[in-house]
């Protein structure tokens, strides 16, 4: 008998097209979970009937929760992980499929690395017909060998510059839940969890493709969704960036991150605050932009961000 219990946290919403494939892949693991917690966000298709079908088979314990009203993907995921009883909790989308050894490999990694509270992996890409397509998640994010070396040296520094973590590949220790919830609405949950874990030096990777990540037009969030599309202009973008860094600083301070992490967060916050307050005059922006030259490469997109700040019109 395992010493540590394993939970899978899954959120569903009108998932009947792909749900069979995902649940089947979880129930075909070389190491089965102790429970699968599925929280449905008021589906109006056949999703809940499919869940009940698998629940009746008793291959693994399935806890099926249906919300009284729609709360949205992020809050639904917060609810799902909060309902899990396992010591190790796997995040699961409803439209992917898992490699058969995923749980076993991640579980063994946690067993061998007691200081790690969150792991993410790479994943193959597949289309709406479950056909594998070219590329992987990490390749799509530009998480190539050079960037992986940067990440391994300083995960927080890397994540403060770019999002890399895909929630569908994540597993956490239960102890991390109290550090990350409630999820702030300004963040996508996977990025938030990764930043908090990294600020405590508790984030790591398994450089293998452990899931088949589905890319399709019906995704609520994912590679096909532009996370920046909700922002109406550059002024809002700069203000939101500052607000997000303040949220991260406050939470990191509460959960007891190391001094080095707080220094990095404060450095980026100061940089973003200064960018937000640049003069409306293009000429008067030049000196502060040059003063922050190194920061643009450390926390932004380098020359591209410099040019955007120089050339943007007065807001």
Q: How far is CA 13 from the centre of its chain?
A: 19
| Statement to judge: residues 202 and 86 lie in one domain | yes
| Statement to judge: residues 177 and 40 lie in one domain | yes
- Can you list the alpha helix ranges (DSSP code H) found in 95-135? 102-112
pLDDT tens figures, 206-221: 999 999 999 976 655 5
| Statement to judge: residues 158 and 201 lie in one domain | yes
User: What domain range includes position 151?
Assistant: 6-214
140: confidence class by pLDDT, cuts 50, 70, 90: very high
At residue 233, does pLDDT exceed 70?
Answer: no
Phi/psi of residue 246, each to 5°?
-65, -45
* DSSP state at residue 98: E
Is 124:42 a contact under the CB 8 Å cutoff? no
pLDDT tens figures, 96-108: 999 999 999 999 9
| Statement to judge: residues 191 and 238 lie in one domain | no
pLDDT recorded at residue 223: 59
228: confidence class by pLDDT, cuts 50, 70, 90: very low
pLDDT recorded at residue 58: 86
pLDDT recorded at residue 222: 56
| Statement to judge: residues 140 and 205 lie in one domain | yes
Q: What is the mean pLDDT of the chain?
A: 91
| Statement to judge: residues 199 and 257 lie in one domain | no
At residue 230, does pLDDT exceed 70?
Answer: no
Asked whether residue 258 is domain-assigned, the answer is: yes
Among 215-224, 253-262, 272-281, where is mean pLDDT lowest? 215-224
At residue 186, does pLDDT exceed 50?
Answer: yes
Reduce the DSSP state of residue 208 to 3 states and report it: strand
| Statement to judge: residues 197 and 239 lie in one domain | no
pLDDT tens figures, 47-90: 999 999 999 998 889 999 999 999 999 999 999 999 999 999 99
pLDDT recorded at residue 244: 93
| Statement to judge: residues 116 and 54 lie in one domain | yes
| Statement to judge: residues 119 and 253 lie in one domain | no
At residue 1, does pLDDT exceed 90?
Answer: no
Out of 182, 214, 246, a domain closes at 214
| Statement to judge: residues 37 and 119 lie in one domain | yes
Asked whether residue 291 is domain-assigned, the answer is: yes
Mean pLDDT, residues 233-260: 83
pTM over 0.85: yes
pLDDT recorded at residue 283: 87
CATH number of the domain to which 76 belongs:
3.90.550.10
Out of 166, 186, 214, a domain closes at 214
Among 179-183, 226-230, 253-257, where is mean pLDDT lowest? 226-230
Asked whether residue 140 is domain-assigned, the answer is: yes
Asked whether residue 255 is domain-assigned, the answer is: yes
Out of 156, 179, 214, a domain closes at 214
The total number of structural domains that make up the chain: 2
Strand locations in the chain (E): 6-12, 35-40, 61-66, 88-92, 97-98, 118-126, 132-136, 171-173, 203-214
At residue 227, does pLDDT exceed 70?
Answer: no
pLDDT recorded at residue 237: 63
| Statement to judge: residues 250 and 205 lie in one domain | no
| Statement to judge: residues 39 and 168 lie in one domain | yes
* DSSP state at residue 181: P
Asked whether residue 270 is domain-assigned, the answer is: yes
Query: Which residues contact residue 284 at a Cβ distance below 8 angstroms, ignoring those fewer than 6 apart?
Result: none
At residue 248, does pLDDT exceed 80?
Answer: yes
Q: Which of 125, 131, 228 is nearest to 169 (CA)?
A: 125
33: confidence class by pLDDT, cuts 50, 70, 90: very high
pLDDT recorded at residue 235: 53
Asked whether residue 259 is domain-assigned, the answer is: yes
């Amino acid at each position: 008998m395992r010493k540590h219990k394993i939970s899978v946290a899954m959120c569903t919403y009108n998932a009947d097209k792909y749900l069979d494939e995902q649940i089947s892949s979880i129930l075909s693991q070389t190491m089965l979970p102790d429970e699968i917690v599925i929280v449905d966000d008021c589906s109006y298709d056949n999703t809940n009937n499919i869940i009940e079908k698998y629940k009746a088979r008793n291959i693994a314990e399935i806890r099926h929760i249906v919300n009284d009203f729609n709360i949205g993907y992020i809050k639904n995921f917060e609810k799902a992980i909060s309902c899990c009883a396992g010591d190790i909790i796997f995040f699961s989308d409803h439209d992917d499929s898992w490699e058969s050894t995923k749980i076993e490999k991640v579980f063994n990694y946690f067993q061998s690395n007691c200081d790690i509270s969150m792991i993410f992996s790479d994943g193959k890409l597949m289309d709406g017909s479950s056909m594998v397509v070219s590329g992987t998640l990490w390749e799509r994010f530009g998480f190539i060998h050079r960037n992986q070396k940067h990440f391994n040296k300083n995960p927080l520094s890397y994540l403060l510059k770019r999002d890399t973590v895909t929630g569908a590949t994540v597993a956490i220790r239960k102890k991390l839940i109290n550090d990350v919830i409630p999820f702030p609405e300004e963040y996508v949950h996977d990025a938030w969890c990764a930043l908090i874990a990294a600020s405590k030096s508790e984030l790591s990777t398994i450089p293998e493709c452990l899931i088949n990540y589905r890319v399709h037009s019906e995704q609520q969030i994912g590679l096909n969704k532009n996370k920046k599309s909700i922002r109406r202009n550059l002024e809002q973008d700069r203000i939101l960036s500052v607000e997000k860094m303040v949220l991260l600083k406050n939470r990191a301070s509460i959960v007891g991150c190391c001094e080095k992490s707080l220094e990095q967060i404060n450095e980026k916050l100061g940089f973003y605050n200064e960018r937000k307050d640049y003069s409306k005059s293009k000429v008067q922006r030049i000196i502060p932009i040059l003063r922050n030259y190194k920061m643009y490469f450390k926390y932004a997109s380098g020359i591209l961000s410099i040019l955007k700040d120089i050339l943007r019109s007065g807001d």
